[in-house]
Amino acid sequence: MFVDTATIKIKAGDGGNGAVSFHREKYVAAGGPDGGDGGRGGNVIFLVDTNLSTLADFRYKRKYTAQNGENGRAGRSSGKSAPDLIIRVPRGTLIRDTETGRLLADLSDDQPVIIAKGGKGGWGNIHFATPTRQVPRFAKPGTPGEELE
């Protein structure tokens, strides 16, 4: 069965949250902030596959979601960035946004195209320490990833 149109939902991964943490050591009374940054969320990438000739696979799986970035941890440890989600499509595929009808990509060559960008990771509390505010008890959350249909 030849299928030439398909509607799918894609969502890029959210960025990880920054950590609120403080350095603790035996003989150090106030070690200061040491919360790490959150990791980047995964992008959704479309790639041309010459072995495919139809969009029949998209009839059965309609939702594609990239992984979220890992949250920051104590000890100035940043969270892991999520891997990108690669969706393989046949050559000559046109990708359109259903809300606006705008053409997002024309996949006629072998270059991968990022359709939905992943969210950025949030900052840990180490970034908010200043000489006047030495104990920041907050961190920045990660930004959400893009979502398209």
pLDDT 10s digits, 83-114: 999 999 888 888 888 888 888 888 888 889 89
Beta-bridge partners for 96: 103
At 58, the pLDDT band (50, 70, 90 cuts) reads confident
Where does the pLDDT of residue 2 fall: very low under 50, low under 70, confident under 90, or very high at 90 and above? low
Residue 1 pLDDT: 54
